């Protein structure tokens, strides 16, 4: 099986799961948390010098309790999961989309 790139996996999941006209309400604080997390990661990875040094990258990413990975973990497992409608969460769990 050919390797899929992140863009392909995301596009396929959006096509399968997202109803184009469906709207959900989200808490503004949660949305800002996700935005600022992505902004932080974008700022870091935008500069190739930031991730050429494996030790510096490891320090930046940290683990699930601190650092960049902590932010990703929190947004994914806590903030974004709460934003998803119940039926969509069930579909994701059922099919591991």
Q: Are 26 and 80 in contact (CB under 8 A)?
A: no
Where are any strands of DSSP class E within 5-54? none
User: What does the pLDDT average to over 62-69?
Assistant: 95
Those residues whose C-beta lies under 8 Å from the C-beta of residue 72, and which sit 6 or more positions away, are 37, 41
Q: 5-53: per-residue pLDDT in tens?
A: 999 989 998 998 899 999 999 999 999 999 999 999 999 999 988 888 8
pLDDT category, 4, cuts 50, 70, 90? confident
Output the pTM of the full model: 0.82
CA 25-30-32 angle, to 5 degrees, is: 105
Sketch the domain layout of the chain as residue ranges.
6-95
pLDDT category, 76, cuts 50, 70, 90? very high
């Amino acid at each position: 099986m050919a390797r899929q790139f992140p863009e392909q996996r995301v596009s396929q999941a959006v096509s399968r799961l997202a109803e184009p006209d469906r709207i959900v309400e989200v808490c503004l604080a949660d949305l800002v948390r996700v935005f600022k997390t992505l902004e932080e990661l974008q700022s870091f990875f935008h500069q190739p010098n930031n991730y050429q040094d494996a030790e510096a990258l490891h320090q930046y990413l940290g683990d699930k309790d601190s650092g960049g990975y902590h932010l990703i973990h929190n947004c994914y497992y806590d903030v974004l999961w709460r934003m998803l409608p119940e039926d969509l969460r069930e579909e994701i769990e059922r099919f591991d989309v």
